């Protein structure tokens, strides 16, 4: 089975010379393998196409994918958006009593799965010419496990509740205070109890539009849990939350799953592992097609994902395996220290920060871990000389490049133009091209308008615009947000290489433990009381830093026997108790 896909967000018929049409050997022989439709957009006939692949390489915008698929998939198509549009094959089966996870790259169809299972999209089974129709769906699924589920969806006797991916957008559609929203949810559950559990008490009377991302995330999760529904979907519940909150939210979702069906999309693998019991991996080609693979136990699914090879399906989706070090590697710093800073303090009207003394080396990536709002940005601004400490003096001024946690782009322009606005002539440097543009696959984004980018795409653009600048210190605040697990691993490599090759250093705030493990040479540990007091110590070597950080959280990690990846221990399990008493919270 051969599919021809046109990535509509890349196709720019006004800016190209219709290379696909011009060079297609079949068209040249006089048939209609490609016809130019409305506004010059090519329509590719899958029946006539011989799969030579010439159009793929000729298209200047990388907008065409011609892909050979296993024949058996043909019968299992669930939905197709348009003639040369995205196709989804197979579906996960919702189940009561356990959290089901969906894991796969961005653009592989996870949201489409949720839209179908929540009844927002009636699947058309590949007949894109007309709207999907329940009778046809029920006929196709007769005698399968999904039949009952679809019958209930068709009769509207199943009530779905969805926590959307982009919580930042909620204040635009919902107004009022946290308490008004949560007490207004139509359901019988106790809002006050959940407000307490999710640490929302302090912000009860606050307007939604005044909330931080992490607060909005917890409010959105609470509002979803409070709904009286039969199936609950959580699309990336961890973004903007610190690790303590991620684990806390996971427990709330797990409890919900004992009585209800729950499906979660999550890219923080330590959290997905902790949260879900069964995981469906999704593979395919971004924007072209996605296949839901067989369910696996969470452990097996994540190990398989890291290995990059689906054995049962015989599909390789990455040409290397992602591995973790059981012992932190020893780093030498031949280029010596970039900065030695003394104890520093800074007081604002309602927040004060104090730090210990420390050293930043050339080429070092320092992970900054700890709760939100304990002074990480304030600290780095003092280091870079942007903010004068009240006590203590930073010896020299350093050039700082900063990627904030919440990314907004004020311009209305293409990504290419935006990169030029941010980087100027550096956008043409060999360094940017080789170390940033290539690895972050910026070429695929350049022609898009900055206003049309998805969260993950915006994150890549912001990373490129920051790492492309020459600087002494890069401050990256939650670079993993909205990136899929694969992109997180790639981004970690990009940051490490930029810092090593340019003899700079990076301070990276993030809450995804796997990401921190892959990116950081050392750790600064922040503690205190969010929004009022911050205490920062370090940088420490990874073992000391992880132990201090996880001790504050009261969480230990064991190692997976097969892949050595860290896994959260159950609180008070034998290993948890042993590790706590020996003081080895991470590298046990
Ligand atoms: P994921 O959630 O895994 O990131 P999505 O389900 O959002 O993936 O999207 C998969 C692909 O489906 C997208 O790349 C896009 O090409 C296509 N798609 C999604 N929604 C629509 C739509 N309404 N119309 C046409 N194509 C769509
Ligand atoms: Fe034409 Fe070859 Fe492209 Fe098929 S793959 S549309 S035959 S150029």
**18 assigned to some structural domain:** yes
β pairing state of 160-163 and 231-235: parallel
Task: Measure the CA–CA gap between 331 and 324, rounded to whole angstroms.
Answer: 16
My answer on whether 537 and 457 are in the same domain is yes
Structural domain of residue 83, as residue ranges? Answer: 75-159+229-245+257-300
Domain boundary among 22, 44, 68: 68
Task: Measure the CA–CA gap between 467 and 473, rounded to whole angstroms.
Answer: 10
Identify the pLDDT of residue 19: 96
- Cα–Cα distances (Å) from 485 to 28, 236, 255, 512, in that order, read 43, 12, 25, 10
> Residue 65: nearest ligand to its CA?
2
Q: What is the pTM of this model?
A: 0.92
Whether 99 contacts 260, CB under 8 Å? no
Of ligand 2's atoms, which has the minimum distance to the CA of residue 34? 6
Pocket perturbation via mutation, ligand 2, pick of 27, 29, 41, 55 by most ligand atoms within 8 A of CB = 55
Q: How many independent structural domains does the chain possess?
A: 5
Nearest protein Cα to ligand 1, atom 7: 111
**53 assigned to some structural domain:** yes
Task: Measure the CA–CA gap between 154 and 143, rounded to whole angstroms.
Answer: 16
Please tell me the distance between residue 44's alpha carbon and the centre of ligand 2 in angstroms: 8
My answer on whether 96 and 237 are in the same domain is yes
The per-residue pLDDT string of the chain (588 residues; one tens digit each, 9 = 90 and over) reads: 999 999 998 999 999 999 999 999 999 999 999 999 989 999 999 999 999 999 999 999 999 999 999 998 999 999 999 999 999 999 999 998 899 999 999 999 999 999 999 999 999 999 999 899 999 999 999 999 999 999 999 999 999 999 999 898 889 888 899 999 999 887 778 899 999 999 999 999 999 999 988 999 999 999 999 999 999 999 999 999 999 899 999 999 999 999 999 999 999 999 999 999 999 999 999 999 999 999 999 999 999 999 999 988 888 988 889 888 888 877 888 888 999 999 999 999 999 999 999 999 999 999 999 988 899 989 988 888 889 999 999 887 889 899 988 888 999 999 999 999 999 999 999 999 999 999 999 998 998 999 999 999 999 999 999 999 999 999 999 999 999 999 999 999 999 999 999 999 999 999 999 999 999 999 999 999 988 999 999 999 999 999 999 999 999 999 998 889 999 999 999 999 999 999 999 998
> Residue 107: nearest ligand to its CA?
1
Strands (DSSP E) contained in 236-277 are 261-265
My answer on whether 544 and 477 are in the same domain is yes
Please tell me the distance between residue 45's alpha carbon and the centre of ligand 2 in angstroms: 9
Whether 226 contacts 187, CB under 8 Å? yes
* Ligand 2 binding pocket, CB closer than 6 Å: 24, 26, 33-34, 44, 49-55, 66
- Cα–Cα distances (Å) from 145 to 39, 93, 138, 508, 539, in that order, read 44, 7, 11, 45, 53
Of ligand 1's atoms, which has the minimum distance to the CA of residue 290? 10
Nearest protein Cα to ligand 1, atom 25: 81
Nearest protein Cα to ligand 1, atom 18: 86
Nearest protein Cα to ligand 2, atom 3: 55
DSSP 259: T
My answer on whether 144 and 9 are in the same domain is no
My answer on whether 539 and 474 are in the same domain is yes
> Residue 6: nearest ligand to its CA?
1
Residue 224, ligand 1, Cβ within 6 A: no
Please tell me the distance between residue 71's alpha carbon and the centre of ligand 2 in angstroms: 20
**127 assigned to some structural domain:** yes
Please tell me the distance between residue 329's alpha carbon and the centre of ligand 1 in angstroms: 40
Q: Which residues of 78-108 are buried (b: 16+ CB within 10 A; e: fewer)?
A: bbbeeebbbbbbbbbbbbeeebbbbbbbbbb
My answer on whether 368 and 293 are in the same domain is no
My answer on whether 429 and 357 are in the same domain is yes
My answer on whether 499 and 584 are in the same domain is no
My answer on whether 356 and 485 are in the same domain is yes
My answer on whether 448 and 506 are in the same domain is yes
Task: Measure the CA–CA gap between 303 and 537, rounded to whole angstroms.
Answer: 34
Please tell me the distance between residue 114's alpha carbon and the centre of ligand 1 in angstroms: 11
What CATH number is given to the structural domain containing 296?
A: 3.40.50.300
- Cα–Cα distances (Å) from 39 to 10, 18, 58, in that order, read 14, 11, 19
Residue 111, ligand 1, Cβ within 6 A: yes
Nearest protein Cα to ligand 2, atom 7: 49
Q: Residue 422 has which token pair?
A: 């941010």
Surface-to-core class of residue 163, CB atoms within 10 Å of its CB (0-12 exposed, 13-18 middle, 19+ buried): buried
My answer on whether 187 and 204 are in the same domain is yes
Could you tell me which residues come within 8 angstroms of residue 129 by beta carbon, excluding any fewer than 6 positions away?
none
**308 assigned to some structural domain:** no
Please tell me the distance between residue 41's alpha carbon and the centre of ligand 2 in angstroms: 15
**262 assigned to some structural domain:** yes
Please tell me the distance between residue 109's alpha carbon and the centre of ligand 1 in angstroms: 6
Instruction: Give pairs for 167-175: CB < 8 Å, separation 24+.
Output: 167/213, 167/216, 167/217, 167/219, 167/220, 167/239, 167/240, 168/213, 168/216, 168/406, 170/208, 170/216, 170/219, 170/220, 171/207, 171/208, 171/209, 171/211, 171/216, 174/208, 175/207, 175/208, 175/209
Of ligand 1's atoms, which has the minimum distance to the CA of residue 85? 26
What CATH number is given to the structural domain containing 11?
A: 3.30.70.20
**318 assigned to some structural domain:** no
**324 assigned to some structural domain:** no
Task: Measure the CA–CA gap between 4 and 44, rounded to whole angstroms.
Answer: 6
Q: Which residues of 25-62 are buried (b: 16+ CB within 10 A; e: fewer)?
A: ebbeeeeebbeeeeeebbbbeeeebeeeebbbebbebe
Residue 547, ligand 1, Cβ within 6 A: no
Task: Measure the CA–CA gap between 43 and 63, rounded to whole angstroms.
Answer: 12
φ/ψ of residue 578, rounded to 5: -60, -45
Of ligand 1's atoms, which has the minimum distance to the CA of residue 114? 6
Of ligand 2's atoms, which has the minimum distance to the CA of residue 27? 1
Task: Measure the CA–CA gap between 302 and 95, rounded to whole angstroms.
Answer: 20
Identify the pLDDT of residue 241: 93
Residue 112, ligand 1, Cβ within 6 A: yes
My answer on whether 476 and 548 are in the same domain is yes
**314 assigned to some structural domain:** no
Whether 160 contacts 231, CB under 8 Å? yes
């Amino acid at each position: 089975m051969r599919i021809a896909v046109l990535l509509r967000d890349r196709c720019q018929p006004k800016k190209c010379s219709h290379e696909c049409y011009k060079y297609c050997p079949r068209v040249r022989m006089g048939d209609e393998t490609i016809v130019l439709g409305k506004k010059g957009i090519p329509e590719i006939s899958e029946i006539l196409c011989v799969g030579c692949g010439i159009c793929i390489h000729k298209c200047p915008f990388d907008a065409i994918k011609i892909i050979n698929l296993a024949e058996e998939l043909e019968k299992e198509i669930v939905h197709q958006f348009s003639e040369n549009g995205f196709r989804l094959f197979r579906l996960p089966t919702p189940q009561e009593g356990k959290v089901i996870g969906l894991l796969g790259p961005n653009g592989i169809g996870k949201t489409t799965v949720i839209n179908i299972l929540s009844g927002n999209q009636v699947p058309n089974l590949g007949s894109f010419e007309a709207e999907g129709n329940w009778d046809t769906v029920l006929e196709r699924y007769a005698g399968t496990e999904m039949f009952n589920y679809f019958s209930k969806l068709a009769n509207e006797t199943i009530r779905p509740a969805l926590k959307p991916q982009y919580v930042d957008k909620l204040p635009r559609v919902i107004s009022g205070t946290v308490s008004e929203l949560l007490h207004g949810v139509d359901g019988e559950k106790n809002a006050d109890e959940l407000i307490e559990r999710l640490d929302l008490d302090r912000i009860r009377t606050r307007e939604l539009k005044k909330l931080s991302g992490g607060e909005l995330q917890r409010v959105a999760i609470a509002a979803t849990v409070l709904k009286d529904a039969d199936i609950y979907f959580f699309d990336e519940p961890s973004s903007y939350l610190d690790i303590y909150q991620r684990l806390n939210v996971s427990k709330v979702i797990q409890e919900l799953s004992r009585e209800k069906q729950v499906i979660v999309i999550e890219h923080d693998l330590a959290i997905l592992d902790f949260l879900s019991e069964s995981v469906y991996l999704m593979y395919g080609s971004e924007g072209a097609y996605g296949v839901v693979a067989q369910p696996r136990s969470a452990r097996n699914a994540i190990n398989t994902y890291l290995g990059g090879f689906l054995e049962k399906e015989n599909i390789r989706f990455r040409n290397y395996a992602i591995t973790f070090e059981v012992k932190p590697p020893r780093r030498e710093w031949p280029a010596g220290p970039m900065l030695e800073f003394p104890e520093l303090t800074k007081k604002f009207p309602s927040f004060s920060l104090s730090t210990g003394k420390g050293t930043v080396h050339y080429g070092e990536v320092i992970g900054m871990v700890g709760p939100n709002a304990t002074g990480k940005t304030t600290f780095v601004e003092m280091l870079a000389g942007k903010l004068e400490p009240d006590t203590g003096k930073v010896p020299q001024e350093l050039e700082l490049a900063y990627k904030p946690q919440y990314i907004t782009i004020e311009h209305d322009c293409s990504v290419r133009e935006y990169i030029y606005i941010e980087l100027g002539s550096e956008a043409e440097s060999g360094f940017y091209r080789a170390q940033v543009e290539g690895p972050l696959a910026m070429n695929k984004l350049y022609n898009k308008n900055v206003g049309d980018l998805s969260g993950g795409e915006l994150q890549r653009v912001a990373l490129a615009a920051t790492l492309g600048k020459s600087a002494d210190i890069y401050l990256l605040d939650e670079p993993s947000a909205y990136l899929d697990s694969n992109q997180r691993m790639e981004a970690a490599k990009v940051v490490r290489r930029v810092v090593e090759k340019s003899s700079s250093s990076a301070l990276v705030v993030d809450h995804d433990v796997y990401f921190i493990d892959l990116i950081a040479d050392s750790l600064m540990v922040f503690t205190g009381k969010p929004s009022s007091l911050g205490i920062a110590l370090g940088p420490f070597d990874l073992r000391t830093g992880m132990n201090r950080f996880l001790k504050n959280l009261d969480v230990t990690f064991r190692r997976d026997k097969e892949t050595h990846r860290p896994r959260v221990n159950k609180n008070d399990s034998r290993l948890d108790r042993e590790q706590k008493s020996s003081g080895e919270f991470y590298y046990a």
